[in-house]
Amino acid sequence: MAALLPFSTSYRQQQSTGTSSSIFRQNQTQARPVSVLDLQGLQSASRVLHDQFMKDAQIIPDIGDMLTTPGGQSSALYSVFPDDYRAPFQKRRLVGIPEALFQYYNTTNVTSHMGLIPEIERVWISIDHKLFLWDYIEGQDISSFIDQPDVITHVAVVKPRVGVFVDEITSVMVICTPVSVLLIGLSMSTVLGTNNRSRKEIKMYATDMTVSTDIEMTSVVGMSDGRIFMCGSQDGCLYELHYQQSESWFSKRVHIVNHSVGSVQSLFPRFTSPKSEDRIVAVVSDPKRNCFYTLSARNSISIYQPSSEKAVHHVQTMSNLYKSAQEKAPGSPALTPSNFQIVTLHVLDPGESRTGVQLIAITMNGVRLYFSPSTSAYNFSYAQSPAAGSVRPLQLIHVRLPPPNLLHPDEQSNPHRPAYNSTTRSSPPQPPSRPFIVSGLENSCYLDGLMVSAQPGDTDGTDFLLCTAPDLTRIGSLGQLNPPSQQQLGPSQQPVYGPSSYGTGANHRPPLTEYATLLAIPGRTWAMATVPRESAPASVAPSPPVTNELATQFSEPSRQFMILTNVGLTFLIKRRALDYLKAVIEEVQTEGVVQPIIEFRDSFGRDQTCAMLLGLASGNTFLDAGELSTSGTLCTISPDIANVAKQAFYDFGERPIWTERVTYGTSDSSGSAIFSGRREGFAMYFARLVRPLWKDKLTKLGPLSLQQSNFEDNLLVAVQKNLFALKEFLDKNPHLFHSAPGEHTVSRTSSGNEQEAWKAEQNSVSQLQALLSRTIEAISFILLLNDYRLGELITQCDPDTQKLITSMSFEDLITTPNGVTAARALVNVVIDQQIGQQISVDTISEVLQQRCGSFCSTDDVMLYKARESVRKAMESRNPSERHNWLGESLRLFTKGARMLDFDKIREVCGEYQQLGYAKGAVELPLSCAQALDPDNLGLEYWYAACPPNDTRVEYCDKRLKCYDLVLHSLSVFEEKASQTASVNGSASDAIDDPEAIRSHAYDLAFSSEDEMFHSTLYDWLINRGLADELLAMRPPFLEAHLKREPITVPKYQLLWQFYVKDGQPLRAAEILAVLAESDTGLPLDKRLEYLTLAVANAKSHPVTIGGRHETAISFLTTLEEKLDVAQVQLEVYIALLPHMNDPGEAGEKIKYLNKTLLTMSELYQVYAEPFDLPVMKLLILHVSDHHDEHVVRPIWDRIFDDAIEKGADAQTNADHIIASVVPLGKRFYPSESAFPLKYIASLLVKFALKNRTQLPNGWTPRVLVQCGVPYADIWDVLHEMYESQIPPFNTQNGVQVVSADIAILLNDWLEEAKRPQSSVPRGEFPVGRIDLAVGQYLAELGANQAETKAIYEGIRRQLRRNW
């Protein structure tokens, strides 16, 4: 069995346990060839499967065809058998009502109701105002709702309206009481319960949606858009419960709309305001056709279609159905006025009937009325042509009468089973002693042609269930050699009421014939429903009708019904032909009675029987008719029974027959084989297993626009399990398709035709077996691809392959050349991915060979060998041997470099890094870079500075990706070396010394002759902060790299350093100058720094005779001037910095100052002048040495004006002037451009003159001394004023003030000259000149200037004493 496990399971096992590498080597040495696919044979076998799909779609007639046979307006054909293997239904189990509920029945005066809600797997039970939801899957689990005070009479679950509730709420529970209707939100999640069975967990949400009603509501139904309809118990009106998210101007949040009065009344007066005797008693929804039906107390059926908001369109009302039924079945005793009471309506799914049978009505005595859309415009109520998409009116097409002589359940449970003899089958059984006539049906349930109805039994506490199901042996074209005639129907044979019975002739359509049985169950029936089951995915292949259980019994679970009584929940299961067959085989095996199995073969036909026997013998996930299997476990029967099935398969299968076709008038003859039942059964069973997959697309669009598998994994696994079981059975029993040994003598005497027939059969069987094997492998392949994210794998294929895969069906993958191409592409992607994850090649290749060998390509052998060499190197512990293996792998990889795609290269590099193989990790990507760009187009593109919109960029990118792998290798080796260094340990073996490996890797990288790689390497090193080491090495391509376009600041920062280290300071200065003036967004301070460095480097340029000395001096001069201007710009910027964020143009101008270098003119005109910066103006005049009294004097006037504060005293203003003038004097003196001494002195003197009474004598000269002006220069200026006679020095007053200032100046000068560490050397003090001047000043001094006179005389005495 291990060899036949599903792919994904066994593959994961191999991954987890690891596999011996010897397997791979062994396979290599054997050089096992991959078998060449016989695509023609596979396609031929696939056509056989398609024929079987077509047969399954046709062998069972459509329900509509059987109801409309010529003259068959009514029918009553039933097959009634005792409770033997043919019983159509079987009671599986009874789940009792939980004990916990009985405590609430503590008084005799309680009101209780109950019902089924299969959508949420719950039974609802109300006891007075309390509602209990019983989880019948778990058995005893109960949830309750008691938050309302009124007696609960009816509960239903419907779909919610879109946008009203939160997303978690997937259903709405409608609770009806006599005075209100209440809505509860439900959310559901599927969880695993006991025995690994999935169950639904529900949560209830209060919605605050309740509406008071005058009458009690019942029969609540929901539509697919969330609209809710119901009828009133007392008045029988049709109501709609309308609810919305919030109240509006015109409607409440939740309210009831009566559709029986109001808008409908004006249009259809005949059918509205129902009289009490014809009130609506039931509402049934038909969401798929977007309509619903109502049943009235007087057997009228109405059809409504929801139209606009809160409105319905009344399509039709069918009344007088009793009369119509009588016309279809005149004289039938089952049709009398007293018992013609319709109890339920059932809707047929649109897919159930191709001819459109839409509705079934059931009366209390089991008469079924079938309705389908009217073919004529005329109908029961009015004529109209239906609009597109609207519901068509219905008409009664067939009356199905009840079985008149059902066996009583007591008789069924003790059947009289006669001994089998040759006449048993043809002689009808004795008529029943207690025939049972159905008379009081109250509940019924319908699904896919199956009907279960309940009525009270003839003893207390028991109900009888009438169960009917199509008798496929009577209605199907199953190839029976001796089809059962209507005369053999035994006790159920009935006259057909109405016109003639169905016609005779070869092409007649059989009338509907059903199995019928009566079962007894404990308790009184409250409700019944079908057990929900997962619907089979819609398939593109021709689909059988739902009634053809022969086609689906091996791929779908049995249909089940639930009947809720006051005792509990009874589960009823439909027994399939497969279950009948199992029963008769058990009878053969236990009692040795073969008659039942022969009858079975005669009833179902040879081929169908062989197909079922094959399924039984080989095992199938749907063999067990019991509980729904959650795990898809393969079910098998006991070996003894399997042997009987196998023998019956062989015996019943008979032998193939050859038929000759002679072309008259010629000697040519050709023939064909009529295959045996074994081959037909094999083909039929195989086709039924794969039908859900065969014609469907492999992929569909999933989330994120990625493709995903079109098939659920659990479907694939289930189909594969059944195919595996079939293949294993056939492999173990190869004799099944060969003639028995004793038959050879016959074949030798025959004309050879029989040999031809056997040959054709065996050829066909071998093709089908080949297809079976490849299909199993294909499912393994898809499961593998799903494990590796099919959508992502597809994106890694080229566009043509992607298109191929997405348009391919499952059949195409298996049987067409395109399928082979697509599979090969996907295998390559998977292998690459595995190699990328460092999983051994032999593991994945072995798995591919074993699980899906026909999908595995063995190309790229050289690369596999290279991979193998790497693996051997990994396993080797001998350094020399490991080095040899690695060298061999590098040789092979380099040789096949052009075939390697990037992911493979990256994966191999990763392994080389892991093994510390520097040569491979560096040289392989470099070789691949060259191989991927064989014509150097990428290199040319790089040399051309990567122009835009150039097709060569593709090759350049390929090179760069390979270079990145080299860099990654270097970083890995770096990391390993640093880790080793950090733990102060080193490997004993030289080949494993991380530092040696790192050093070797760098040597190999730098020894490459690929300039483009060098450039990439330098960038990488620089980004890692290794620029200094790179500059120290000065590799050959570094200067060219740093000068390459595009020029960047980091590159030029390194280039000037490169020139400094290379002894070329002038070149360094040139680069620095370019940097300082570049348009690279450098800040001003950085530009200033570069200019400073440029000046320093230019100054260090040696004087040579090479002729560059004069150029160097000129360059230096220019640089110094630029540096001066830049320094001024920085000062202007700092001065304006507080206004940087000013709005408008001003702020932007200031920011611009920090972005580039400006000229002096720009600084003056754009900044100093508009922003009114007097100090900056002086600075600019000073640096540019611009002499212009008309410019500088107004600046100083402004400075003095700004310093003098109106209204302040003279001393305060004097301090302000000192604060403004002294720093400027210290900075700019002796620059006449910025500090015109005479003019500034005159401004100071004029201020002192104006405030002479408040300022001390000598204030002016002392301010100038603080400015750093020498005493002699101050004396010259003041003396010039003294002598000038220019106002204000043309008055005695003005002259005397200046004289007093001179006296103080000369005295301060003298004292300074006398100081030991004086700034005025004694030898330079002009004693004679001062002595003469003092004489002049004393002579011209005013009479009232005693203080000044004393100072002069003191000066004279000092001079004469000290000099």
Measure the CA–CA gap between 589 and 417, rounded to whole angstroms. Answer: 18
Measure the CA–CA gap between 475 and 470, rounded to whole angstroms. Answer: 8
Measure the CA–CA gap between 919 and 907, rounded to whole angstroms. Answer: 16
pLDDT greater than 70 at residue 380: no
What pLDDT score does 415 carry? 43
Tokens of 607: 């081929």
> How confident is the model over 300-356, as pLDDT tens digits?
999 999 988 888 999 999 999 999 999 999 988 999 999 899 999 999 998 888 888
Is there a cis peptide before residue 1046, judged by omega within 30 degrees of 0? Answer: yes
pLDDT: which is higher, 1320 or 298: 298
Q: Burial, 1172: exposed, middle or buried (Cβ in 10 Å; 0-12, 13-18, 19+)?
A: exposed
Provide φ and ψ at 307, rounded to 5°: -110, -120
Tokens of 423: 């006449």
| Integer CA distances (angstroms), 323 to 150, 1260, 1297, in order | 43, 137, 145
The residue written with tokens 């270079």 in the block is 963
pLDDT band of residue 665 (cuts 50, 70, 90) is low
The residue written with tokens 């509501």 in the block is 217
Average pLDDT for 1186-1206:
89
What pLDDT score does 645 carry? 92
Tokens of 111: 């009101």
> How confident is the model over 693-728, as pLDDT tens digits?
999 999 999 888 899 989 998 899 999 999 999 999
> How confident is the model over 935-993, as pLDDT tens digits?
999 989 888 888 899 889 899 999 999 999 999 999 999 888 888 877 755 443 445 68
Measure the CA–CA gap between 70 and 445, rounded to whole angstroms. Answer: 29
Q: Where are the beta strands (DSSP E) in 401-506?
A: 406-407, 435-436, 443-447, 450-456, 462-470
Residue type, 1144: G
| Integer CA distances (angstroms), 857 to 41, 389, 908, 1218, 1220, in order | 20, 53, 21, 97, 92
pLDDT band of residue 495 (cuts 50, 70, 90) is very low
Reading phi first (left if > 0) and then psi (alpha if -120 to 50, else beta), residue 760 is in alpha
Four-residue CA torsion sign, 244, 250, 254, 256:
negative
> How confident is the model over 647-662, as pLDDT tens digits?
999 999 889 998 887 6
Tell me, what DSSP letter sits at residue 1140?
Answer: T
CA-based nearest residue to 649, from 700, 689, 696, 685:
685
pLDDT greater than 70 at residue 454: yes
H-helix or E-strand containing 516?
Answer: strand 513-522
pLDDT band of residue 1310 (cuts 50, 70, 90) is confident
What pLDDT score does 1173 carry? 86
CB 239 within 8 A of CB 304: no
pLDDT band of residue 806 (cuts 50, 70, 90) is very high
CA-based nearest residue to 283, from 259, 303, 298, 255:
303
What pLDDT score does 376 carry? 59
pLDDT greater than 70 at residue 268: no
> How confident is the model over 394-412, as pLDDT tens digits?
999 999 999 987 888 887 7
- What SS3 state is found at 130? strand
pLDDT: which is higher, 261 or 729: 729
pLDDT greater than 90 at residue 419: no
What pLDDT score does 669 carry? 57
pLDDT greater than 50 at residue 418: no
Q: CA 135, 141, 144: angle at the middle one, nearest 5?
A: 85
Dihedral angle computed from the Cα positions of residues 1272, 1278, 1282 and 1287, in that order, rounded to the nearest 10 degrees = 160
Average pLDDT for 450-476:
92
CB 1173 within 8 A of CB 1219: no
pLDDT greater than 70 at residue 387: no
What pLDDT score does 921 carry? 93
pLDDT band of residue 423 (cuts 50, 70, 90) is very low
CA-based nearest residue to 819, from 771, 866, 865, 867:
771
pLDDT band of residue 220 (cuts 50, 70, 90) is very high
- For the chain, give percent helix, strand, coil, nearest 5: 50, 15, 35
What pLDDT score does 918 carry? 92
Measure the CA–CA gap between 278 and 300, rounded to whole angstroms. Answer: 8
What is the average pLDDT score of the chain?
Answer: 82
pLDDT band of residue 384 (cuts 50, 70, 90) is very low
CB 405 within 8 A of CB 431: yes
> How confident is the model over 560-602, as pLDDT tens digits?
999 999 889 999 999 999 999 999 998 888 888 888 899 999 9
CA-based nearest residue to 237, from 274, 196, 269, 209:
274
> How confident is the model over 1274-1290, as pLDDT tens digits?
888 988 888 888 888 78
Residue type, 89: F
- What SS3 state is found at 394? strand
Average pLDDT for 414-426:
42
| Residues whose CB falls within 8 Å of the CB of residue 129, separated by 6 or more in sequence, listed in order | 146, 148, 149, 150, 151, 152, 177
Measure the CA–CA gap between 125 and 104, rounded to whole angstroms. Answer: 11
Highest mean predicted confidence (pLDDT) among 48-62, 265-279, 1116-1130? 48-62
The residue written with tokens 């063999």 in the block is 623
Flag the least confident range among 247-256, 668-677, 1216-1225. 247-256
| Residues whose CB falls within 8 Å of the CB of residue 1229, separated by 6 or more in sequence, listed in order | 1235, 1237, 1267, 1268, 1269
pLDDT greater than 60 at residue 858: no
How many other C-beta atoms lie within 10 A of the C-beta of residue 1205? Answer: 10
